[in-house]
Amino acid sequence: MTALRLGTRRSALATTQSGWVADQLRAAGHDVELVEITTEGDVSGGLLTAIGGTGVFAAAIRKALTDGRVDVAVHSLKDLPTAPEPGLVVAAVPAREDSRDVLVARDGLTLGELPIGSVVGTGSPRRTAQLAALGLGLEIRPIRGNVDTRLRLVSSGEVDAVILARAGLARLGRLDVVTEVLDPIQVLPAPGQGALAVECRADRPDVLEAVSVLEDADTRASITAERALLAALEAGCTAPVGALAEVVDGEEGLELSLRAFAGTEDGRIDLRRSLTGRYDDPESLGRRLAQILLEDGAADLDRPSTIASRPPEPVS
């Protein structure tokens, strides 16, 4: 095989992630060439909810795959739509980074230490909904931009804090800025957060075999359950949905424990449910938990008055 052409977005985080995948493939004996691709999400300054949400970072790279301009693509898995892309396959899911969200706040403050009225920046309805549900009296402001842009909002005093994915900061070597790692009991991550998707054309058995060395079975099982739940809820990455699956020891071997959140951005409705299921059937687990959420009111989140909501619980 000639050198694998690996398609990546141009951002520092994307090229760092893709560079890591390229290094793993090189260690396995393959020549790899990075090909930078500009996506709609990179050139638009609008909020993700306004420019299309799920898929705005993936569409251009996927077209390059389909057209044969690149052989492999690396995505942040949470950016991929849950619907399969005709002719393409997620050929490998490497071991996942820590999936939790983190707080980066002025003066080293934690979430509970931020004064009432503090401004917290995030472009995620999922984070907005869960922060609002905590009842801390924070002002949540929508923001866009890469990691450095968001961190500058804190250092310049434009906001008191921002919420980011720990995985991105870890890959960039910037964990020193974190003032608190948020417990999933407070803020569940996005489905697939912290995981990478290595995608290629389904009709390229040579590429499929080359990237198979990157596969991590536990991560694949976990993200499959999370994305099955997301698909069943008919939500995207901009919807107020969080999910986290973890591999646990059961009485008869390995199992998956799946926790999920669905709510409203004003925090008045905060549905949290969990379920444990078979390790070897993660899709069924995700669909079953989604059905529980739907039966308990998630189907009516656009009509919050129809749901018996409970007041937000204070954080201890």
CA distance 261 to 308: 16
Name residues whose C-beta falls within 8 Å of residue 186's C-beta, 6 or more positions apart in sequence: 111, 130, 134, 315
Q: Please provide residue 304's backbone torsions phi and psi, each rounded to the nearest 5 degrees.
A: -60, -25
Q: Which token pair is 123? A: 């472009």
CA quadruple 50, 81, 217, 24: dihedral sign:
negative
- How far CA 60 is from CA of 70, 229, 237, in Å, comes to 11, 26, 18
Annotated catalytic residue, options 79, 101, 160, 270: 79
Task: Give which of 183, 165, 185 is closest to 274, Cα–Cα.
Answer: 185
CA distance 120 to 177: 15
79 is catalytic: yes
Q: Do residues 90 and 198 lie in contact, with contact meaning Cβ atoms separated by under 8 Å?
A: yes
Residues identified as active-site: 79
